[in-house]
Amino acid sequence: MLNINRLKNITGINLTFIVTSILWLKTVVVCFVGFNLSIQSFFDIVLILTSSIGSLLFVMGFSFYFGEKINRLILFGLLFIGTGVLYGDLLYYRFYIDFVTIPILFQFNNVGGLSASTIELMSPWDPFLFIDLFIVGWLLLKTKSTLTVRKQSKRKYLAVASGLVVLTICFGLIKSVHLFSQSYDREQMVRSLGPLNYHVYDIGLGLKSPLELLLVTEADAVALEENLQQKDYERTELFGIAKGKNIVLFTLESTQDFVINQSVNGEEVTPFLNELIKESFYFNQIYDQTAQGKTSDAEFMIDTSLYPLASGSVFVRRPENTYYSLPHILKEHDQYYAATFHGNVSTFWNRDVMYKALGYNEFFSKDNYSVTEDNSVNYGLKDIPFFTQSVDYLKDLPEPYYAKFLTLTNHFPFLLDEEDMFIDPADTDEDVVNRYVTTVRYLDKSLEVFFEKLKVEGMYVDTVFVLVGDHYGISEKYEGGLNELLDEEDTLINQVKHQQIPLIIHVPGQEGETIATQGGEIDIRPTLLHLLGIKIDDRYSFGHNLFTRNSDHPVIFRDGSFISENYIYKNNSCYGKQDGQAVDPQQCEPYLDVVRQELTLSDNIIFGDVLRFIDEGYEK
């Protein structure tokens, strides 16, 4: 039986231990129950159980250094903040299956989804995470004893806490020597170091990155160049088939590859695209490589063929850099004019600033369109009026042009007015999935309308069209509904397949071909340049021409996972690609070296703004 009187006379140091234990317990429960951390060995369990103790003691010990009057308040405040951070992590994780980073906190106005559905992300169990606050609050009010801690005890306490933190780091490094060099693998960081240490490390990374810009010199750029390789350049008979043509590129909001040739209630979801791919190069093994920057990451990869950043969007974090981007290349080689079109505000994802660095001459955004309540939904202008209103702007561009259209309507939470529903919602247990097929169908219709208009205006024949899904629409959270829709099992192979996005390159007059080469968004630029007959020094980029890409070169994801010809590396485990069965981790090691090297070099180029030292002879 709890002896209330004994509790009332508890010493300051013991009270600190109690509060720390409570927060530790909550952290461990959240790690085991809230986060879906892959646990492969008993050591992983030990890591999760122990990793937070040192840092929690350390933080709670902070209260020792305040006067008798306020240290109770500080102790309570720390428990309150700790619980708040933990709960924030949990909500973010439930939606993104990822961990919050500092850069993403500064661009929360660009994080679609979370705010709109925070209530939906809550669980009836969540209040249990806060009950202790009342108990501890009451205890702190009732304790009579002084909470002052003796100097000697403070020293001992600090030594134990620091020792435990050092031990945690050692354990983490025993688990993986690459723990810190692969800090983009946030799940590994949280599993090995605990959420609190992860956040501290992440703050450190955030503080370090502006310094890199100042510290990198031309000599570093030269040193970096030695690690970069000129890619083997193989010409195919397709080289230059689209030379000098206008380029119209579409990033199709949230469009996954499974919608292609998919019917719901007997009706095709993408009838227009299904027809278009018959007369196009259709790449059906392309993976979404975006990270926290979502659409902006897709745009970044398409234009620069560099990897996005592990945390935050490059558009927001490095908009002043020098980039050897697609508009610059096209301008330099064939005097192209570059413009982007989007029905949302120009500041979203910091596009108005970043587009200048990427070399766009013009940006048509919400202000350039007639946007009313009737013709907009969710983030902005609906896709059909967006395209119809864009035709006149497109007509006036100097030729040849590179015009990039970012569609918008098919965005989470997939809202649509009744009159725009060209297909009935699906009938799964997941409303998000049911709505998704209707907004994809609307997107497909908008493309049909646009292509028709271009044909009527005589703007179709001399154009090469690139259409690519920017990233997933159905996040892992709603994967169950997707499996139901497709009548598929929840297997690793299917999870990986759902990461695919369609890539369609349509050159009018060219015969259609389905190409099963594996690749990602990073490979779009070299593939397009090949068709345009433009050969560049692409050492400072990481994409490969999809017409000649080595099938065993891994498709690399920003969390350090990859897919090669025969293997899948996911959640720190190596699997056979055919059957999804776990195989000896050694099989994945050679590919992991490539993964680490490419991601690190790409980050170095971006954080050090290395391209400012490289004279490619293009206009900035």
Region from 222-230, 293-301, 346-354, 486-494 binding Mn ion, contact rule CB under 5 A: 293-301
Smallest distance, Å, CB 294 to ligand GP9? 3
Q: Among residue numbers 123 through 162, which ones bind ligand GP9 (CB under 6 A)?
A: none
The one among 295, 344, 389, 407 contacting Mn ion by CB under 5 A: 295
Whether 299 and 404 have beta carbons less than 8 Å apart is answered as yes
Assess 521 for contact with Mn ion (CB under 5 A): no
Give the whole-angstrom CA distance, residue 148 versus residue 128: 30
Give the whole-angstrom CA distance, residue 559 versus residue 198: 15
Q: Which is nearer to ligand GP9, 254 or 500 (CB)?
A: 254
Q: Which is nearer to ligand GP9, 82 or 380 (CB)?
A: 380
Cα dihedral 354, 358, 362, 368, rounded to 10, equals -30
Smallest distance, Å, CB 113 to ligand GP9? 7
**Nearest-CA neighbor of 386 among 258, 282, 251, 521?**
251
Smallest distance, Å, CB 427 to ligand GP9? 26
**Nearest-CA neighbor of 249 among 423, 451, 505, 30?**
505
Region from 367-375, 392-400, 468-476, 508-516 binding Mn ion, contact rule CB under 5 A: 468-476
Give the whole-angstrom CA distance, residue 194 versus residue 362: 46
Smallest distance, Å, CB 560 to ligand GP9? 22
Q: Which is nearer to Mn ion, 172 or 312 (CB)?
A: 312
Q: Alpha carbon of 122 to those of 34, 89, 129: distances in Å?
A: 11, 12, 12
Q: Among residue numbers 317 through 376, which ones bind Mn ion (CB under 5 A)?
A: none
Residue 255 bears catalytic tag: no
Task: Give the x/- contact pattern for ligand GP9 in 108-127, rule: CB under 6 A.
Answer: ----x---------------
Q: Which residue is listed with tokens 């390789």? A: 229
Smallest distance, Å, CB 345 to ligand GP9? 8
Give the whole-angstrom CA distance, residue 145 versus residue 149: 11
Whether 179 and 173 have beta carbons less than 8 Å apart is answered as yes
Q: Which amino acid is at 191?
A: R
Query: Which residues, 6 or more positions from 144, have their beta carbon under 8 angstroms from its beta carbon?
Result: 8, 9
Residue nearest to ligand GP9 (CB): 294
Give how far the C-alpha of residue 519 lies from the chain's centroid of Cα atoms, to the nearest Å: 17
Assess 465 for contact with ligand GP9 (CB under 6 A): no
Give the whole-angstrom CA distance, residue 23 versus residue 199: 16
Smallest distance, Å, CB 468 to Mn ion? 11
Q: Which is nearer to ligand GP9, 239 or 300 (CB)?
A: 300
The 3-state secondary structure of 372-415 reads CCCCEECCEECHHHHHHHHHHHHHCCCCCEEEEEECCCCCCCCC
**Nearest-CA neighbor of 300 among 360, 358, 216?**
358
Assess 348 for contact with ligand GP9 (CB under 6 A): yes
Q: What is the DSSP letter of 230?
A: P
Give the whole-angstrom CA distance, residue 513 versus residue 235: 18
Task: Give the x/- contact pattern for ligand GP9 in 369-408, rule: CB under 6 A.
Answer: ----------x--------------------------x-x
Q: Which is nearer to ligand GP9, 375 or 518 (CB)?
A: 375
Q: Which amino acid is at 529?
A: L
Give the whole-angstrom CA distance, residue 43 versus residue 335: 59
Residue 580 binds which one of ligand GP9, Mn ion, none, with CB within 5 to 8 A depending on kind? none
Q: Among residue numbers 282 through 301, which ones bind ligand GP9 (CB under 6 A)?
A: 294-295
The one among 344, 378, 389, 483 contacting ligand GP9 by CB under 6 A: 344
Whether 137 and 77 have beta carbons less than 8 Å apart is answered as no
Smallest distance, Å, CB 473 to Mn ion? 8
Read off the tokens for 13.
């140091």
Q: Which is nearer to ligand GP9, 288 or 479 (CB)?
A: 288
Smallest distance, Å, CB 307 to Mn ion? 17
Give the whole-angstrom CA distance, residue 17 versus residue 516: 58
Q: Which is nearer to Mn ion, 57 or 482 (CB)?
A: 482
The one among 187, 470, 479, 523 contacting Mn ion by CB under 5 A: 470
Which listed residue (295, 407, 438, 527) is catalytic?
295
Q: Which residue is listed with tokens 């949302």? A: 344
The one among 411, 498, 544, 570 contacting ligand GP9 by CB under 6 A: 411
Q: Which is nearer to ligand GP9, 412 or 607 (CB)?
A: 412
Q: Report, as residue numbers or ranges, the catalytic residues.
A: 295
Point out which residues bind ligand GP9 (CB under 6 A): 112, 294-295, 344, 348, 379, 406, 408, 411
Point out which residues bind Mn ion (CB under 5 A): 253, 294-295, 470
